Structures are given as C-alpha cells and as structure tokens.
Amino acid sequence: DSKAKGRNRFQLYSASMNTKFDERFSLEVQMHKALERDEFQMVYQPQINVVTGKISGVEALIRWASPLLGHLSPIEFIPLAEETGLIIPISEFVLRTVFQQAKLWQQTNLLPERIAINISSRHLEQENFVSFLAELLLEFKLDGSIFELEITESILLNDGDDIIEKLHLISSMGMKISLDDFGTGYSSLSYIKKFPIDTIKIDRSFMHGLSSDSEDESIVTAICTLAKSLHLNLIAEGVEESGQYRVLQSLQCNEAQGFLFSKPLSAHDTTELLLKNLPLGPQHLRPQHCFNL
C-alpha cells in the first residue's frame, strides 16, 4: 500500500544521505565476515643483506581478498579495524599464522634469521598482549629470537612507562623490536634511548630522492650515522632502483627491502625463494668477493 511505499521511499532517501556511513558499515561487516571466512592471508617480503644480497629476514604483511570488495590494501582496512577494535582478532590471526609458518620453515630447515611482524598499537596496549605472545611461543615451541615486532613511533608517545615495561618483557622473551617508518613521525633521539629498540626501518618516502635529491640523502645519511653510533640494525624500506641501492651501500646501511629485490610473496613462493638461497637484486652491485657466499 501507499504507506509502505512511502516508508520505502524514505528508507531509500535516508540510505543515500548516509552513503558514507553505509560504506563504512559495509567494510566493517565484511571485515567481520572475512575473519570467519578465512579471507585474510599473509605474504612475506624478503629483507636482504646489502653486502651479500642474501635474504636476512622476511616481513609478514597481511592481504585481504574479499569476494565482495575485491583486493584491499592493509592501508584501506587496518585504520578502520583499529577504530572498531577488530584489529585485535585480526592481529591475533596474523601472529598465529606467522608462527605457524615459522614452525613449518623451521621443520624444513628454511627458517630465515628473522621474521618481522607489524604490531598495531591497539594490540600492544592490550593487557594480555605479552602473555598472548608467550603462549604462542610455547604452543609452537619456537624461540622468540626468530621474531622482530615492528612498531611505529607513535606508540612510544602514547603511554610511556607501561609500554616501556611491555617492550622490555618482549625483549626478555628474545624478540627484537623494530621502529617502522622511521623519520615520518615524531622521531626523537630520546625515544630510541628510552626504549629497547634493536632495528630502525628508514621510511620508504626517503628513497624517492635518494639518487637525485640531496635533502633525502642528507636525512638518510643522518639516520645511518645515528644507527651506527647506537649500534642499531638498519633497514631501508621501499628500495626500487639500483641507484638507491648504490647510495645505501656507500652509506653502509646493513639491510634493504623493496621491489628491487622482491615484492611481497605468498608463503609458497617465499618457501621456493628460501630453498634457492640465492642473492637477490642487481648482480653488478654486489662486490666480487661476495659471489661465492
């Protein structure tokens, strides 16, 4: 009847007024379902030793193939997951999946020196975060030293003492801590002294101008000097061109990660790569004496 039609029309109208809300709601609903339906997957991007070109570690990165929304980048769904709290079950899935993969690689003698995992501040702040890690290590009978947790500088601003204590507990379990996207945030040298940081990852935004722009090169040079004097491991991320690689070598940056060496790969393809155990990246940029390594 006309009353029902009127109601429908109103619903249509209000729906179009709230498109933004509905989209967000739908992404949220889809994310919920994604966990149940097993739509998330982990891929792994090699990190290479700048001198030998060999794989020194891998970084685990999440992927979501939604049958409804298509392939979504973590940049598109992690922020909403953090807002809604869904990041906790997602992050638990990430850790469990990566630990399981680490076990498989350990059993087949393919374990890289390090497996890096991105940790959301929302998860790190959870009361049970450290015990969750400890239980996973026990369950999979893995040594903590295999893993490096990547956090961002903003975490260090949040919650001073509580976070320092957690990071120390994590370190005492043998795990390494790495500062991701370094240079983009509130980088302050005092943070690095205050927190048990093992590795700094130079943000890829500094790679763009590395072989042309002197400002980027000055910043990267400064970060390299800092890392060396504080005895921190240093990884440059987003290395795409051999010119950038050459500059990083000359600055004695220990490690690099980026499309020049490899894109993030499925677990299966990563396993193939680990089996080959060959240097990655441009041949001509490796010192002669390293060819036999």
Cα 7 to Cα 2, 10, 12, 169, 257: the distances in Å are 9, 5, 9, 58, 56
Q: Which is nearer to ligand C2E, 9 or 263 (CB)?
A: 263
Per rule CB under 6 A, is residue 118 in the interface with ligand C2E? yes
**Contact (CB, 8 A) for 153 and 185:** yes
Per rule CB under 6 A, is residue 45 in the interface with ligand C2E? yes
Q: Which is nearer to Mg ion, 150 or 255 (CB)?
A: 150
- Residue 193 DSSP label: H
Q: Which is nearer to ligand C2E, 7 or 114 (CB)?
A: 114
Burial of 90 (0-12, 13-18, 19+ CB in 10 A): buried
Could you tell which of ligand C2E, Mg ion, none binds residue 163, using a CB distance below 5 to 8 A set by kind? none
Interface residues with Mg ion (CB under 5 A)? 118, 150, 180-181, 237
**Contact (CB, 8 A) for 119 and 180:** no
DSSP 3-state of 235: strand
Binding-site residue total for ligand C2E (CB under 6 A)? Answer: 23
Cα angle 4, 8, 14 (rounded to 5 degrees) comes to: 145
x/- string (CB under 6 A) for ligand C2E, residues 199-238?
-----x--------------------------------xx
Q: Which is nearer to Mg ion, 39 or 237 (CB)?
A: 237
Task: Please give the residue ranges that form the binding site for ligand C2E (CB under 6 A).
Answer: 45, 61-62, 73-75, 78, 91, 94, 118, 120, 150, 180-181, 204, 237-240, 257-259, 264
